[in-house]
């Protein structure tokens, strides 16, 4: 699914509710929450932490999708075009940073 | 750009270097770093914090792209299909959570 | 309770278990997790997010204590003296940054 | 330095400025920022990321102090007694969680 379509699908979902988009600080808090859940999952799967027996182990990929959703909400609420931002960033690292690390 | 293409473009970029993908905890640390930069930018633009004069104000959209990049790297390193994960999550919220908030 | 005593109390607790301290990246992931839970609590108390009925609302102060615990674990594992670090930082902001914001 | 004194010292510093305490979401964003800087430092010291030559390597202990400062600001702004919160949490893990991990 293209980023544009992702932004539109999230927008359609949010626009049906009165609540609407969060304000920037609230969106950021939501993103922080989701990154925290991703951290917990990574600790479960790759770390030394003993799982609590009552805890459901959610899939890591679900947590990544939640982070992606939080980022899309923030971008939508600020009229940021993810495709454009992503292309600009990739263009930069594909060119300016080209020799920052040792090539194969 | 489709998510699949995004994952491939990031993969092509990373595969040219000896360093390769980070391990899960390192990727997570990188994501945490990028979310922190996004937080700083949101504090600059919407919060009460006085900007340091020597600090370049990077665009918020650049920071969001960096978070997207970090998430893509993590997903790639774990063979997670972002399209599939995102669809599963949207399907869930479009159905199960449908009446969680008040409709317009 | 002095910071030194806090570090010692956490150390006594951890040293009774075989698991011991986490490695730096694991400690950081744990901190990220706790900050995420704090973010969720702040969203509950001050934000627009509707509480799920099945969710226990933990006290914000508990979450802050968890963050403090995570930080103390990280500091202990790296032999960092929190008292010294905190004093150095306060000394810096009490002096160098003195005129960064408008005085009352 | 006792936690109570830490809270008072931070309070004295903040109260001299017109700006005063941040609101909860702004404090959280600030904490997220500081945790991000800590993540960067951990990546520098323990991870595979190549340091940029123009980047000053701040001490890890400084970053931990900054996180401690951010947490103290948040606690102060909400009239949370860190000593009390920390004791409650330690009491809980010293008792309820006592057999969660394997003893030495």
pLDDT digits 0-9 by tens, C32-87: 999 999 999 999 899 886 555 444 455 899 999 999 999 999 999 999 999 999 99
Tell me which residue of B32, B16, B22 sits closest to B76, measured CA to CA: B22
Tell whether the model's pLDDT for residue B55 goes beyond 60: no
Q: What is the pLDDT of residue D2?
A: 87
Q: How confident is the model at residue B50 (pLDDT cuts 50, 70, 90)?
A: low
Cβ-based neighbours of A54, under 8 Å, separated by 6 or more: none
Mark out chain B residues that contact chain C at CB-CB < 8 A.
25-26, 28-29, 32, 50, 100-101
Query: What does the pLDDT average to over A61-65?
Result: 96
Q: How confident is the model at residue C19 (pLDDT cuts 50, 70, 90)?
A: confident
Q: How far is D34 from chain A (nearest CA, A)?
A: 13
DSSP single-letter state for residue D2: B
Tell whether the model's pLDDT for residue B97 goes beyond 50: yes
Question: CB A19 to CB B46 under 8 A?
Answer: no
Burial class (CB in 10 A: 0-12, 13-18, 19+), A30: buried
What rounded mean pLDDT belongs to chain A? 88
Mark out chain D residues that contact chain B at CB-CB < 8 A.
19, 22, 26, 29-30, 32-37, 39-40, 42-43, 47-50
Tell whether the model's pLDDT for residue B24 goes beyond 80: yes
Query: What does the pLDDT average to over B4-21?
Result: 94
Q: How far is A91 from chain B (nearest CA, A)?
A: 11
Tell me which residue of D99, D78, D61, D60 sits closest to D11, measured CA to CA: D78
DSSP β-bridge partners for residue B2 = A2
Q: What is the pLDDT of residue D98?
A: 67
Helix (H, G, I), strand (E, B) or coil at C23: coil
Could you give the CA distance from residue B88 to residue B71 in angstroms, rounded to a whole number?
17
Question: CB B28 to CB C29 under 8 A?
Answer: yes
Termini Cα distance of chain B: 31
Could you give the CA distance from residue B78 to residue D27 in angstroms, rounded to a whole number?
33
Chain A neighbours, 3+ Cβ pairs < 8 A: B, C, D
The pTM for the full model equals 0.90
Residues of B in contact with C25 (CB under 8 A): 25-26, 28-29
**Cβ-contact A54, A60 below 8 angstroms:** no
**Cβ-contact B97, A17 below 8 angstroms:** no
Q: Going from the N-terminus, what domains does chain B have, and what CATH number goes with each?
A: 3-96 (1.10.287.1080)
**Cβ-contact B28, A39 below 8 angstroms:** yes
Q: Which two tokens stand for residue C29?
A: 């992931």
Q: Which two tokens stand for residue A99?
A: 């020799």
Question: CB C71 to CB D67 under 8 A?
Answer: yes
Q: Which two tokens stand for residue D3?
A: 């936690």
Query: What does the pLDDT average to over A54-73?
Result: 84
Q: What is the pLDDT of residue B98?
A: 67
Tell me which residue of D66, D78, D67 sits closest to D21, measured CA to CA: D78
Q: What is the pLDDT of residue A53?
A: 45
Question: CB A40 to CB C26 under 8 A?
Answer: no
Q: H-helix or E-strand containing C53?
A: none
Tell whether the model's pLDDT for residue A99 goes beyond 90: no
Q: What is the ipTM for the molecules in this complex?
A: 0.88
Question: CB A29 to CB C39 under 8 A?
Answer: yes
CA distances to A9, A68, C79, D39, D70 from C83, in Å: 50, 39, 12, 21, 15
Q: What is the pLDDT of residue A41?
A: 93
Tell me which residue has tokens 């390193």.
B77
pLDDT in tens, chain D (104 residues): 789 999 999 999 999 998 899 999 999 999 999 999 999 999 989 988 655 544 445 589 999 999 999 999 999 999 999 999 999 999 999 987 667 777 88
Q: Mutate which of C22, C31, C32 to disrupt the B interface (most B C-beta within 10 Å)?
A: C32
Burial A47-82 (b: 16+ CB within 10 A, else e): bebeeeeeeeeeebbbbbbbbbbbbbbbbbbbebeb
Cβ-based neighbours of B57, under 8 Å, separated by 6 or more: B41, B44, B51
Q: What is the pLDDT of residue C103?
A: 83
Q: Which two tokens stand for residue C83?
A: 């008292």
Q: How far is A103 from chain D (nearest CA, A)?
A: 13
User: What phi and psi, each to the nearest 5 degrees, are found at residue C2?
Assistant: -65, 150
Q: Which two tokens stand for residue B92?
A: 């869930």
For chain C, helix (H) and strand (E) counts, in that order, are: 4, 0
Q: How confident is the model at residue B102 (pLDDT cuts 50, 70, 90)?
A: confident
Could you give the CA distance from residue B89 to residue C64 in angstroms, rounded to a whole number?
30
Q: What is the pLDDT of residue A48?
A: 80
Could you give the CA distance from residue B104 to residue C97 in angstroms, rounded to a whole number?
49
User: What phi and psi, each to the nearest 5 degrees, are found at residue C47?
Assistant: -105, -175
**Cβ-contact A93, D43 below 8 angstroms:** no
Q: Count CA atoms within 13 Å of residue A85 on its CB side.
A: 24
Question: CB D28 to CB A26 under 8 A?
Answer: no
Please name the member of B64, B78, B85 whose beta carbon is closest to the beta carbon of A71: B64
Helix (H, G, I), strand (E, B) or coil at B2: strand
Chain B neighbours, 3+ Cβ pairs < 8 A: A, C, D
Tell whether the model's pLDDT for residue A47 goes beyond 90: no
Tell whether the model's pLDDT for residue B61 goes beyond 90: yes
Q: How far is A42 from chain B (nearest CA, A)?
A: 7
Tell whether the model's pLDDT for residue A79 goes beyond 70: yes
Tell me which residue of D16, A96, A41 sits closest to B62, measured CA to CA: A96
Mark out chain C residues that contact chain B at CB-CB < 8 A.
25-26, 28-29, 32, 50, 100-101
Q: How far is B31 from chain D (nearest CA, A)?
A: 8
Q: How far is D39 from chain B (nearest CA, A)?
A: 5
Nearest residue in chain A measured CA to CA from D51? A100
Q: H-helix or E-strand containing C33?
A: helix C24-46
Q: What is the pLDDT of residue C54?
A: 45
Query: What does the pLDDT average to over B34-39?
Result: 98
């Amino acid at each position: 699914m293209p980023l544009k379509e992702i932004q539109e699908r999230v927008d359609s979902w949010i626009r049906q509710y009165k609540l609407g988009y969060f304000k920037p600080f609230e969106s950021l808090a939501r993103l922080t929450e989701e990154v925290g859940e991703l951290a917990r999952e990574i600790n479960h799967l790759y770390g030394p932490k003993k799982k609590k027996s009552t805890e459901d182990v959610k899939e890591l990929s679900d947590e990544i999708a939640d982070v992606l959703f939080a980022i899309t909400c923030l971008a939508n609420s600020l009229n940021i075009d993810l495709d454009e931002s992503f292309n600009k960033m990739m263009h930069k690292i594909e060119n300016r940073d080209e020799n920052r690390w040792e090539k194969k």
